[in-house]
Structure 1
Amino acid sequence: MSQTLQKLVVGLTYPPALSLCLMAIAAGLLFLRHRRIAATLLAVAIAWSGLWSVPMASDWLRGKLEARYPPVDEATLPSADAIVVLGGGMRYGWLDRPEVRAEDLENSRLAAGARAWLARRAPIVILSGGGENGGTGSHGSEARMMATAITRLGVPTSALLLEERSRNTRDNAQFTAQIAQARGAHRILLVTSSLHMPRAIEQFRGEGIDAIAVAVPERARRISWKERWFPSRSALWRSGRAFKEFGGLLMIRIQN
């Protein structure tokens, strides 16, 4: 499948994008005087984004992926040759705290990687994440930002290796596998979000790496009725991320 088509498919995983596409088709059908079909398609387009903007619906969808690799206590993990932490954005708000510990950061990939290293599960930590133009942008690679952050959690720079070329999960697996194999590392502890883990595990194992999942939760605490059932942009975005992961898994199946 061409990269252009793949990008189109990924774009349509975001519910409003698919809804707009369906609305455009409905407009064309209306122009051709197929009013009943156009009205049905328009209703489906509105309902699609409306449904996945409901937090409980979004959580249910995400749960189908997150349940495959539930979080575990890093101290109970088996020993490995390396810990691999995948990037997930270059914002680490906790860096502004005067004192921060890995134990306090339940939803942080870096903290999970640090906890595994501090528990002596592996001697090295590979941080995988590129940046603008493959890591040459003005802000540097994500891996460098990750390195700065993880040292605050007790992992020394001498234990770190950086993979700075990746721009997607497939690159993460390919380029990290090259680094790991050059260091004689065959068994890794793979750290990423529980939502992303199914796709990441498949990509890494496809590169011949024995990857053990260290899933990090992305829990959304919902207390009130409004937080659970009132449509929100955040829920819509979270649903889009889940559909992207399902789409990515489908692409892997097709390519294999």
Structure 2
Amino acid sequence: MSETVLITGCNRGLGLEFAYQYARDGWCVHACARDLVRAEELLALEARFPDQVQLHTLDINKDGQIKALDRVLGNETIDVLINNAGYYGPKGVGFGNVERALWRQVLETNTLSPLMLTQALFPRIATSRLKTVAFLSSKVGSIGDNRSGGGYYYRSSKTALNQVVKSLSIDLEGAGVKVVALHPGWVQTDMGGNNALITAEESVTALRNLLQQLDLQHSGSFLNHDGSTIDW
């Protein structure tokens, strides 16, 4: 029986690449996106791997859709949950121009919703074989690495997410569930831009290798795609 992975934010970028690589390798892939009608590449992936890929409409900020997803999954267990969906928010916002409502939107998507989804799917993860939860974080969420300031919305959302990961690693240790925060590198995606250093394929390949080697001893870590530990 093949392992099962559930991935959020699969319409493009890293999420789409995760879905492709896992499907290519024979996994059962539950690929989630907010708008499947416009997710042409994801629909093409489903057509290419009809026995591996199942698509789900999921806006992670809507609790009703999270509950609906849980119902649709039936008795399925989830070996690996990849909380990939994220939102940078408006770029170039500096001190003096921070807006409460916009900040809340970024925190909702990057911090609150991944935890709510993990909480809803936890019984499926805890009864699986691999028992792994990954959160796509970012090096800009590292307080120790912050030397340029700014980025209030995105930085704070990822810093808070890292704290969530650390707490989860402690709370779920008894169930044998491994939890990790991952920095994918500066990746050539819509968010990273064309000048980024690595491709989505390179990043996802490296991240999958990390997840494959993850054990409870390293649960709660903040890891770069190259395997190095990032300062909180």
TM bucket by the smaller chain?
0.3 to 0.5
Larger radius of gyration: 1
* Structure with the larger RCO, 1 or 2 (CA within 8 Å, 6+ apart): 1
Higher helix share: 1
